[in-house]
């Protein structure tokens, strides 16, 4: 390879490598951190999770016999523009509950007490029957796994961002290797000539 061509190639590769590094820098951190989480989930979650909420108080609340109409009204109030997708009758945290799923989330109404949970994205909020917020929980584990596999917190882009970053990391690695290797080829060539002389 001629020296001028080699110098131009090296300059181009350094530019590509530098810009690629700047562009993908946030995702390098995200992939590194979330990968560390996958190996050490308990330790990482201990950094983020707040105090747990004691639900034992609900056992002392009066039995109001919440019904499906109340659950539907709650869902309508929370997501007025969303279509109701599904209604389930199941147990949640040890109490009979009505679970209503809509496009953007889920409301879970405890039938005995009327307290309810609202799940949206990676959060779950606990409310008293009068609408007072009692607790806010973030599902950090699910958020980290989603970031690691999608490169984003929503499914809007599917795995597109993660796939682009994966290819960008490969280009970053290959360009870095070439940028490191090219200046050394001349020295390696001289060593071979000396040994064969």
Interval 21-46: pLDDT, tens: 888 889 889 989 999 999 999 999 98
Average pLDDT over residues 153-182: 84
Do 81 and 36 sit in the same domain of this protein?
no
- How far is it, in rounded angstroms, from Cα 140 to Cα 173? 30
Indicate the pLDDT class of residue 194, thresholds 50, 70 and 90. Answer: low
Do 152 and 180 sit in the same domain of this protein?
yes
- How far is it, in rounded angstroms, from Cα 65 to Cα 99? 15
Do 125 and 158 sit in the same domain of this protein?
no
Q: What is the pLDDT of residue 104?
A: 76
Do 134 and 70 sit in the same domain of this protein?
yes
Q: How far is CA 172 from CA 23, 78, 105, 151, 163, in A?
A: 11, 45, 39, 17, 14
Average pLDDT over residues 54-76: 89
- How far is it, in rounded angstroms, from Cα 96 to Cα 71? 13
Q: Which helix (H) or strand (E) holds 30?
A: helix 3-39
Residue 121, sorted as left (phi over 0), alpha (psi -120 to 50) or beta, turns out to be: left
Indicate the pLDDT class of residue 196, thresholds 50, 70 and 90. Answer: low
pTM of the predicted model, to two decimals? Answer: 0.74
- How far is it, in rounded angstroms, from Cα 28 to Cα 22? 10
- Domains contained in the chain, number: 2
Question: Domain for residue 84, yes or no?
Answer: yes
Q: What is the pLDDT of residue 40?
A: 94
Question: Domain for residue 79, yes or no?
Answer: yes
DSSP state of 115: -
Is the confidence at residue 11, as pLDDT, over 90? Answer: no
Is the confidence at residue 87, as pLDDT, over 90? Answer: yes
Do 170 and 187 sit in the same domain of this protein?
yes
Q: Where are the beta strands (DSSP E) in the chain?
A: 84-92, 95-102, 105-110, 116-120, 123-127, 133-138
Do 179 and 149 sit in the same domain of this protein?
yes
Interval 104-120: pLDDT, tens: 799 999 999 999 999 99
Do 36 and 90 sit in the same domain of this protein?
no
Question: Domain for residue 10, yes or no?
Answer: yes
**Domain around 189:** 3-45+144-196
Q: What is the pLDDT of residue 192?
A: 64
Do 119 and 68 sit in the same domain of this protein?
yes
Domain boundary, last residue among 138, 166, 184: 138
């Amino acid at each position: 390879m001629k020296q001028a061509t080699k110098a131009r190639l090296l300059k181009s590769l350094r530019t590509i490598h530098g810009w690629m590094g700047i562009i993908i820098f946030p995702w390098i951190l995200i992939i590194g951190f979330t990968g560390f989480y996958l190996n050490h989930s308990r330790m990482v979650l201990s950094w983020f999770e707040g105090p747990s909420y004691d639900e034992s108080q609900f056992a002392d609340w009066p039995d109001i016999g919440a019904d499906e109409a109340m659950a539907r009204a709650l869902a309508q109030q929370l997501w007025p523009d969303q279509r109701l997708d599904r209604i389930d009758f199941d147990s949640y945290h040890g109490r009979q509950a009505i679970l209503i799923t809509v496009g953007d989330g889920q409301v879970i109404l405890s039938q005995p007490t009327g307290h309810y949970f609202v799940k949206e994205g990676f959060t779950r909020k606990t409310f008293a029957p009068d609408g007072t917020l009692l607790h806010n929980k973030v599902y950090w584990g699910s958020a980290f796994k989603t970031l690691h596999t999608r490169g984003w917190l929503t499914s809007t882009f599917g795995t597109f961002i993660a796939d682009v970053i994966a290819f960008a990391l490969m280009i970053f690695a290959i360009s870095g290797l070439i940028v490191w290797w090219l200046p050394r080829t001349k020295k390696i060539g001289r060593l071979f000539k000396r040994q064969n002389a």
